[in-house]
Chains A and B, each alone.
Chain A
Amino acid sequence: MSHGTRAFAIALLLGAPLAACAGGREGSAVPAVDARASTPERTASERLVERGRALLGAKRPSEAASVLERAVRVDPSNGRAYLALARARIALGEPVVARGLLERAAALLRPYPQEEARVDSVRDSLPGG
């Protein structure tokens, strides 16, 4: 079990708000990303985001995309799931698909400047900016 996954599991068992462990940057703890961060859907979705990121980190983008699509479907309001999925699509050489996902990520993460900046940075890395 990865550090992130373990942290989620412990948080869930203790009934703690997900914000305490839902890192915005891989492997680090940051403040809550939005007001829905403690909903059950978000908690379940974030577990999958963590798994997807781990797969992406292990250079398995196709599998990551599959897991992250599930994360989106469990909580379609989770901007971080779209962002992570966009990264997987970029790794798979699908920048056009990634751009659409980043649009949604940006719309959902707009109230959180740090997260929005990450979306912008990924968007800037795409061909054509």
Chain B
Amino acid sequence: MVAAWLYVRHVGGLIEETWARHSSSAPSRIYSRALDLYPGRTLGRADLVRELEARGYRRMDGPGPVRTGEYRVRGDALQVGLHAFAYPPPDGLAAGFPLDIRLGAGRILSLTDRVADTAALDVRLEPATIASVLDRRMVLRSPVPLQRVPARLVEAVLTVEDRRFFDHGGVDPVRLAGAAVHDLLHGRLDQGGSTLTQQLVKNYYLTPRKTLGRKLREAVMAVVLEHEHSKAEILRAYLDEVYLGQDGPVSIVGVQEAARHYFSRDVSSLDLAQSALLAGMIRSPAAYDPFRHPEAARRRRSVVLGLMAARRLIDADQRARAERQPLPRASAERPLDAAPYFVDYVEGELERRYPRDALRREGLRIFTTLEPRAQRVARNAVREGLAALEEAHPDLRRSGEGALQAALVAMDPRTGDVIAMVGGRSYGVTQFDRAADARRQPGSLFKPFVYLTALEDTTGRWTLATPVADSTLRVRQDDGTVWSPGNYDGREHGRVPLRDALVHSYNLATARLGLEVGLPAVVRTARELGVEGRLRPVPSVSLGAFEATPLTMASAYAALAGGGIRPDPLTVLHVVQSDGREAEARELTLRRVAPAGPVYLVDRALQDVLERGTAASARELGYGGDAAGKTGTSSDYRDAWFAGFTPSLVTVVWVGFDDNRSLGLPGAVAALPIWVRFMKEVGDPGPDPFPVPPGIRTVTVDSSTGLLPDGSCGATREEVFLEGTEPTRRCTSAEGAR
């Protein structure tokens, strides 16, 4: 007797501990940006459909009203059953409603709230879930209050799983007797006869083994659980814990997650047919998976509806209507797979503040800057770009972890928002994030910082027209060695204007310029722009002989794109606790790091890089927009880079091997085509002129000397100057001929 009492006490303690842990545990979710919808917004039908699919909306082709989580395409109009969504404060819960979107000429023409029959002005497509931070069990589970579970679903579940739930005390003797008779007749333990309470106990505490001892323990624990908790609490826990299928390696647990996974809607809006399907799936989620076995799922739903009708929970009409309802179809887009490197980076960012266990169990909601469309295009650009490169250069082909790699970072320079990040060609093969963690030599990607340092010189000594010698130089370094760089084409180009030296990426001219303006000043400029790491004022620094990540380079180039104002890179915008309170908001932070005038001059020269410089092939590859950029190639062709930007988008691409093997190709051949693939789809297709800051003068100068032409010199060209630095002297015929 005492032993039995002690056992029951022990079981009671075990139950309470596990109960408390399970009732609040939920994985954190990482979301993309929401998509603001407003009349006039550029958005084509195909893109809108992809955005809807990425958020789990299901296309509906048949008749009948479009319900929450569904959309229907009718020519250039879409009907969307907009989800409700809880945004971070102060916006809070935005109600879902049926929305009509009319499109035309690649834009939104109008938005109509179909219930109110009025124009909808402030509409957002809620963020897409890009990841859930799961524990080792890989369980996707979201607790939901019982009040939000529709009565139909509860009725359906009780009908098929435990009709006498409200009458028994944890164990159902009638059902148990039936199961025992069946097992005796068949000579094995295969009829469960379990109540909901017993199933919950089994999920919480026990192994799935079918032994008599385990069944007895299950029964004792079920009775104790019923003693300690109300029927409502047990029902809620069951609905939160019931296993309802798989999404790849991830287990779908609980009716809320199942509603999202199978129907793309909140559990509260499930209808009769959907409730019957979910309830029917409990017996065997794999066998009745509507995505993989639609016919079996339809038959099972029919059985559940029949049982509900037999219990007079529904009438014949309701049953017939539910039977006719189409089964859900899997969404075409799988946003959970789209941004694994970005997700890792975000988790790393958050782990500095939130322990990993909190991320896995506390149901935080993390709102990020990722734009699903840009991310998808970036991922494809990297995959297809690398495949094309290997096709053209078969010697680059390697398999597995030794394969040619690439990274891409795209950032809005006006806000610092990282909108896309690809850290490698296949996360499945290697998870090392080359976008944020690979420190590689940027090579000529660094050169604009040397030119910016010169143009910032307030004495006005340097302009884009100032000639600089592109000729051999030998520098004795502090350690006694002699540094003597060469140009990529192996030639010297004589005296060339600063602009041409940058446009054609001449090493000799740039190295000389770095020495002239002072290497400490060059390093200071780079640091101001956000280049971190071991930057030392040695001559080779001007040619990018140090190490930086693609993310760092994107951040530095954002200052060039932003007229000298640098944003702090942002990936996380808000973290919201499970109770809806904001745990953290990361603010948009800008800082002027360089004067607008000199930055404008550098930008103008970098625009020329795409017109007639090292990246002129961008035009042949099909990129027609206005942009500025710089190629980069490190020593022995180990790293190929391209950083290109408009005032609204900076994109940095790196290509190379993880083991530092030579690629044998420059940035223009290996990295630029990936940039073009990305920008052709994501970059603004129209002209995106760089705003002209005050104090800029345009003057016609002699091309070779940078002086005012006098008619007897050579060719002339337009050049931009900071006010007060324009040439005042005319070139002589002797100078012009030089």
Chain A interface (Cβ < 8 Å from any Cβ of B) = 9, 12-13, 39-41, 43-44, 47-48, 55, 60, 63, 65-67, 69-70, 72-74, 76-77, 85, 89, 94, 97, 100-101, 103-104, 107, 110
A72 surroundings in chain B (CB, below 8 A): 414-415, 588
Question: Are B565 and A69 touching (Cβ within 8 A)?
Answer: no
B90 in the interface (beta carbon within 8 A): yes
A63 to B88, CA, bound (A): 10
Taking a contact as CB atoms under 8 Å apart, the answer to whether A110 and B590 are in contact is no
Return the contact of A40 from the options B41, B565, B591, B596 (Cβ within 8 A). B41
Residues from chain A with Cβ under 8 Å of B414 in the complex:
72, 76-77, 104
B583 at the interface (CB under 8 A from A): no
Q: How far is the CA of A100 from the CA of B587 in the complex (A)?
A: 12
In Å, the complex CA distance between A41 and B414 comes to 15
Contact of A103 (CB < 8 Å), options: B107, B121, B592: B592
B310 at the interface (CB under 8 A from A): no
Q: Interface segment, B32-40, B341-349, B517-525?
A: B32-40
Q: Which residue of B lies closest to A40 (CB)?
A: B40
Contact indicator A97/B587 (Cβ below 8 Å) = yes
Question: Inside 8 A of B691's CB, which chain A residues have their CB?
Answer: 107
Question: In the complex, which residue of chain B has the Cβ closest to the Cβ of A97?
Answer: B589
- A9 to B122 CA separation, bound complex (whole angstroms): 10
In the complex formed, the residue of A with least CB distance to B41 is A40
Complex: A97 Cα to B91 Cα, angstroms: 23
Q: Are A104 and B89 in contact (CB under 8 A)?
A: no
- Beta-carbon contact of B119 and A13 below 8 Å: yes
What separation, in Å, do the CA atoms of A69 and B367 have in the docked complex?
14
| Min C-beta distance of A117 to chain B, whole Å | 15
The answer to whether B39 touches A103, judged by C-beta atoms less than 8 angstroms apart, is no
- The B590-624 residues at the A interface (CB cut-off 8 A) are 590-592, 596
Q: Mark B109-146, 1 if CB is under 8 A from A, else 0.
A: 00000000001011000000000000000000000000
Choose among A9, A13, A101, A103 the residue that contacts B588 (Cβ–Cβ < 8 A).
A101
Please pick, from A48, A67, A76, the residue contacting B415 in the complex, using a CB distance under 8 A: A76
List, in ascending order, chain A residues with CB within 8 A of B89's CB: 63, 66
Q: Roughly how many angstroms separate A94 CA and B90 CA in the complex, as a whole number? A: 19
**Contacts of B36 on A, CB cut-off 8 Å?**
44, 70, 73-74
Extra contacts besides A74-B38, A100-B565, A110-B694 (8): CB < 8 Å: A12-B119, A63-B89, A66-B88, A66-B91, A66-B585, A72-B415, A100-B592, A104-B565
Give chain B's interface secondary structure class.
Answer: loop
Contact with A along B82-124 (1 / 0, CB 8 A): 0000001111000000000000000110000000000101100
Is the CB–CB distance between B90 and A67 below 8 Å? yes
Say whether B443 faces chain A, with CB atoms less than 8 Å apart.
no
Bound-state Cα–Cα, A123 to B565, Å: 16
Bound state CA distance, A13 and B90, in angstroms? Answer: 26
Contact indicator B38/A73 (Cβ below 8 Å): no
**Chain A residues, CB < 8 A from B591:** 100, 103
Specify the chain B residue showing the minimal Cβ separation from A51.
B122
Contact of B588 with A63 in the complex, beta carbons under 8 Å: no
Q: List 17 A-B contacts (CB under 8 A).
A: A40-B41, A43-B40, A47-B122, A63-B89, A63-B90, A66-B88, A66-B89, A66-B90, A67-B91, A72-B414, A72-B588, A74-B38, A77-B414, A97-B589, A104-B562, A104-B590, A107-B691
Question: Most chain-A Cβ atoms within 10 A of its Cβ — which of B39, B122, B565, B590?
Answer: B590
Least Cβ distance of A111 to chain B in Å?
9
The contact string, 1 if C-beta is below 8 Å from chain A, for chain B 563-600, is 10100000001000000000001011111100010000
Tell me the minimal C-beta distance from A102 to chain B in angstroms: 9
A99 to chain B: closest CB distance in Å? Answer: 8
- Looking at the assembled complex, report how far the CB atom of B126 sits from the nearest CB atom of chain A, in whole angstroms: 14
Across-interface contacts of A85 in B (CB, < 8 A) = 588
Kindly identify which residue among A39, A60, A76, A94 contacts B648, using a CB–CB cutoff of 8 Å: A76
Nearest chain A CB to B596 CB, angstrom units: 7
Given A85-B588, A100-B565, CB of A73 within 8 Å of CB of B39: no
Contact of B590 among A39, A40, A100 (CB under 8 A): A100
Within the assembled complex, what's the spacing in Å between the Cα atoms of A67 and B124?
Answer: 14
Q: Using Cβ atoms and an 8 Å threshold, which residues of chain A touch B122?
A: 44, 47-48
Known A73-B417, A76-B415; judge A103-B590 contact (CB<8 A).
yes
With a cutoff of 8 Å between Cβ atoms, the chain B residues found around residue A94 in the complex are: 587
Nearest Cβ in chain B — how far from A8, in angstroms?
8
Nearest chain B CB to A77's CB is how many angstroms away?
7
What chain B residues lie within 8 Å of A12 (beta carbons)? 39, 119, 121
Q: 1/0 per residue B344-373: CB within 8 Å of A?
A: 000000000000000000000000000000
Q: Which residue of A lies closest to B34 (CB)?
A: A70
Chain B residues, CB < 8 A from A107: 563, 565, 596, 691, 693
Query: Bound state CA distance, A63 and B585, in angstroms?
Result: 11
Rounded to whole Å, the gap between the CB of A42 and the closest CB of chain B is 10
Taking CB atoms, residues of chain B closer than 8 Å to A89 are: 587
Does B412 lie at the interface of the complex (its beta carbon under 8 Å from any beta carbon of A)? yes
In the assembly, what is the distance between CA of A101 and CA of B121, in Å? 27
Distance of B158 from chain A, by nearest CB (Å): 43
Query: Using Cβ atoms and an 8 Å threshold, which residues of chain A touch B563?
Result: 107
A121 CB to closest chain B CB (Å) equals 19
In the complex, how many angstroms separate the beta carbon of A16 from the nearest chain B beta carbon?
A: 13
Chain B residue contacts of A47, Cβ below 8 A: 121-122
Per-position 1/0 for B545-573, Cβ under 8 A of A = 00000000000000000110100000001
